[in-house]
Structure 1
Amino acid sequence: MVEEQAPAPSESAGARLRRERESQGLSMFDVARALRLSEKQIAALELDDYSKLPGRTFVRGFIRNYARLVQLDPEPLMAHLSFGQEEASHQIQAPSQKISFSEHHAKPWLKWLMMAFVIVAVASWGVLEWLGPVQPKQGMVSRTTVPVAPPSPALTVQPTVVAPPVAHEPAITKPSDTSAATDTVVPAVPATALARLTMTFSGRAWVEVRDKNGKIIHSQNNTAGADQVVEGEGPLSLVIGSAPNVKLTYKGQPVDLSAFAKADVARLTLE
């Protein structure tokens, strides 16, 4: 487990976070994915360039989450934050110069196209409501007369001669051959088996698990003494920070994380 130390007076919050990230072997991409930010925003945090970030409240939240990810106490870092010149620059900066969360440039023409589409749809709905449903004209309704057939003449009923019943021998029923009958058994289609992953934590550690489709099914910081059970369609891809603090069992078999760890960060795929 990485020992938490307060930053030196000459070291900024961003420099302390960058040094701790590099000591754990994490890339900017790893941190950005875990915090759900862009790599440009992570770079701005590490350079203490808060003018490219949304605002003071967001910056404080980003730094707290970053510190918890690399297992640092966020309070000493918050005490070294300075929003003087950065915030003034942020207020006069054009909105187009900020780093957006999605990293996509704005498309004004798309905005106007959507507004035009909404206006046309509302106008069409208004015209239909004003006109109302079309009613058929009464003059166009035709009447069809169905001729009724005249009543048929009375039928003459002839007397019926009933013959005496003839005795018949009872039919002999042969026993059916039940041995030829066969039962058709439809095999049940087994459900897709989910791979089970069990984790026990002896210290704080961050874990992210993805299923075979790349979907994140588990991502969080875990405290000492916690147990986690994760199920998903294999193969499962894992990124584990502070790997020595994690005891891993996959499909009932223990997994040695030391073979996959680099600077206490393990990356592996379990089939």
Structure 2
Amino acid sequence: MSADGSEIRTFLCRSDNIGVLIRDPATGACAAIDVPDAEPVLAALDEAGWTLTDILVTHRHGDHVAGIPEVKARTGAKVTAPAKASDAVPDVDRTVAEGDQVQVGRLEAEVWETPGHCADHVSYIFHDAGVAFSGDTLFTLGCGRVMEAQPETLWRSLERFLALPDATEVYSGHDYVLANARFALAADPDNAALRERMAEAERLKAQGRFMIPSTIGAEKATNPFLRAAEPPLARSVKLEPGTDPATVFTALRAWKNSF
């Protein structure tokens, strides 16, 4: 249960997508963050006994929207999608852009435009709940691949998350934790907190679980992409400490692409 009493469930979709439901117990309103595949979303609703009222889309990619038509047909949920992706997301009822507010019952989210992975990407920040749904922008111990922008664009999106309270829970769109951890250790090998998180990720994987959500505080301490302003990360890509973090981030992201 989150800071404001909201209820959240996570579950695996497809091979590595993370499905998420957030519910306002006061009203019964419930939202899915993306619908990678209809079956696991509907199964999670049935298991919880929740009624879906909303679908909040982070971006247009097929592995995040493929299940929308079936889920909407079964539940009647209202689909909210980024305005920049309105023509590519099925069955959209409402479009949103930077600074808009989204209601799920009494729960309220602020919409952030967080481009870089793709041009239309948004994140949903439930400030009172202390929860951020970051889609494919920020992952546990990683970040999205840059696909429709310069790397600096994604860095500017990631920077925004650094301003959130450390206790904010971050729900990302995929479970790439072990692969991300292996790269993070290569880039930041002397980070003791990171080594501990790697061990935790391996334990959870062995139990069939995943390290999602994370927290902003944990990511600030261990995610190399959020630590681009820190001297060890600059040195890891053969740059001088004090180099512009966007430049360090660009080098880190290029390294990760070929890792």
TM (norm. structure 2) is 0.27
Larger RCO of the pair (alpha carbons < 8 Å, separation 6+): 1
The structure carrying a bigger strand percent of its residues is: 2
TM (norm. structure 1) is 0.26
